[in-house]
Structure 1
């Protein structure tokens, strides 16, 4: 699980800021293409990734009977720990819903923090009514087996063009889903908190009428003035 201090700090940092910090550290593929909030959320959501993977449908395996197999989405949901964010690799397929209202209701009961997928969900109205926060690429009526075969959970996956490993940290807000590699979480969090602090100060300068050159990004003189003001206020 995530250290509560880090989790609380990340809940105050936008995904936009995080992508900038991660870019400075050489990581360009951290924002997942496709997942968008099914319902706009007021609060940012942070949690460790619990991964699930689908592959293209194969007729002898992608059947309604497969839902009763121990290696099924049902089995995966029962393994999800409270507070995790389920991240599902659906290969961007948008004509077969990976989960519906009943599965999402069970995830909500297990205190899963959110569901993220580059695919779609089904039973859209019912999913919304469960209260489970969902980031996906839309809604479709057909079940998962119409286009996908579920193959496993808690292994490396790709979601929206991003490599996701179990327990990497996921941050969700209205701009989408961003991944922070587990090994970099503490470093990225500290840098992101400082970046937000700096940008808040810069926004104040813009509102006072300051011009952007030398302010954003800040030159040496601006940095010195910012640091002096921060020390004065501390």
Structure 2
């Protein structure tokens, strides 16, 4: 569910009123929860401006990808390259999982050594 085109909340800090935040249906990534003595000290600044989150600079139009393990930021100028690399990485990891399920040992498979890389590439052509 989205509210005002917001799909999730990612913060390097803490959130207040976690129950209320979770009731929105938004996904939330935060370092914890708190109940500050007063919300009067909390101020909305602006939309579409650079921010820092967890020591990382976030700019408008950057892509944030998050799952249960955490969140990463992809700079807008790198999105196409990262998506291409991510597709290939997913194919490789799918192949590795298949190999492990068939009894292969993980050392030399992940990351793939030259022999296993050649096997993966040969299997990918088939």
TM-score interval, normalised by the smaller of the two chains: 0.7 to 0.9
SS of residue in 1 equivalent to 2:32: coil
SS of residue in 2 equivalent to 1:153: coil
2:109 counterpart residue number: 215
> CA shift at 1:214, angstroms?
2.7
With over 3 angstroms needed to count, the CA separation of the structure-2 counterparts of 1:144 and 1:137, relative to structure 1, is farther
When the two structures are superposed, what TM-score results if normalisation uses the length of structure 2?
0.85
Structure 1: give runs of 5+ residues left out of the alignment.
1-106
Residues 1:198 and 2:72 are matched in the alignment: no
CA distance in 2, matches of 1:150, 1:112: 15
Residues 1:187 and 2:81 are matched in the alignment: yes
2:25 counterpart residue number: 131
> CA shift at 1:209, angstroms?
2.0
Tell me the alpha carbon deviations over residues 59-98 of structure 1, each in whole angstroms, 9 at most, x when there is no partner. xxxxxxxxxxxxxxxxxxxxxxxxxxxxxxxxxxxxxxxx
Structure 2: give runs of 5+ residues left out of the alignment.
none
Provide the aligned length of Structure 1 versus Structure 2.
125
With over 3 angstroms needed to count, the CA separation of the structure-2 counterparts of 1:154 and 1:144, relative to structure 1, is farther
Residues 1:166 and 2:75 are matched in the alignment: no
Matches within 5 A, 1:97-116: 108-116=2-10
Residues 1:122 and 2:16 are matched in the alignment: yes
Q: Which has the higher contact order (CA 8 A, sep 6+)?
A: 1
2:71 counterpart residue number: 177
Alpha-carbon RMSD: 2.0
CA distance in 2, matches of 1:184, 1:175: 22
SS of residue in 2 equivalent to 1:178: strand
Matches within 5 A, 1:16-31: none
Matches within 5 A, 1:79-98: none
Residues 1:231 and 2:125 are matched in the alignment: yes
CA distance in 1, matches of 2:109, 2:35: 50
SS of residue in 1 equivalent to 2:105: coil
With over 3 angstroms needed to count, the CA separation of the structure-2 counterparts of 1:193 and 1:144, relative to structure 1, is farther
SS of residue in 1 equivalent to 2:119: helix
> CA shift at 1:150, angstroms?
4.3
SS of residue in 2 equivalent to 1:121: strand
